[in-house]
Amino acid sequence: MSGIRQPASDMVLVAEASGLFAPETRKGRLYIVAETDHDVARGRDACQLICRTIRKHFYDDTSFSVTASLRKALLAANRALYQQNFGVPVQKRSFVGVSCAVVKGDDVYLAQVKPAQSYLLAEGKLRALPGGPSWRQSQEQQTAVYFKPNALGNSLTVEPEFFRATLRPGDGLLLCTSNLAPLLSREVVTRLLRAAHPDDVTDELAELCREHGITEAHGLALGMYAALSPAARAALLAGGGGGGGRGWGFRRGGGGQH
């Protein structure tokens, strides 16, 4: 692992609408950040299996409930990885932690299976998901990441954690691998999520990784901004951002170090 910054990551999935009748328009935009405890090649395969399975089952599900669809998708992904693990020796099994976010209208729906890390600035509050302990533990405690028994692929039972919030202009969301948590104090996260553009978030995270010698990390930043002019909105969409909602624009940035 060379620690080279990449604009896109194999551990990050982005599903945004390509047209008015696309499933992403009906059910919402889906964002996933996955992480694993194994070597890069085998871990990447496991994470991609999880991401593909979640995406397929989320959009195939006919439920009108985003949370219900996310739960079914995570259960299906867990089952797929568990079955894959069952057929290989113990030392070759992979376990995956995942953070999922669905943005639909003004709402964001989060689902996690630890280890995973997300930060949400919404409704006037800054939240760390998993909760506050990530800002109270010592760095040594935070660094110890355990993939069993919580992670996907370990057993046929899994208990995702869910959260929902309403987004307004100025709000933001960061999904990242849990090894970044020791670097992200409340003050740092507040500054990141109030940045002018999500690319500013990923720039600072890349610099933190360089400073602390982290060569493998992945993340995705989302931001809600005041409504754009038609020309600015067209330029943003052409550049790969999103848009929509009631009077706000939507931008994202992300990538990985590997």
**For 9-41, how does the pLDDT look when each residue is reduced to its tens digit (9 = 90+)?**
889 999 987 777 788 888 999 999 999 976 666
pTM for the whole structure: 0.83
Report the alpha-carbon distance of residue 60 to residue 68 in Å, rounded: 12
Q: Count the Cβ atoms, other than its own, within 10 Å of residue 29.
A: 20
The torsion angle over the Cα atoms of residues 178, 180, 182 and 186, rounded to 10 degrees, is: -100
Domains in the chain, please, with CATH? Answer: 5-257 (3.60.40.10)
pLDDT digits (tens, 9 = 90+) for 123-156: 889 999 987 545 655 444 444 555 566 899 999 9
CA distance 160 to 109: 12
Q: Please, which residues bridge with residue 54 across strands?
A: none
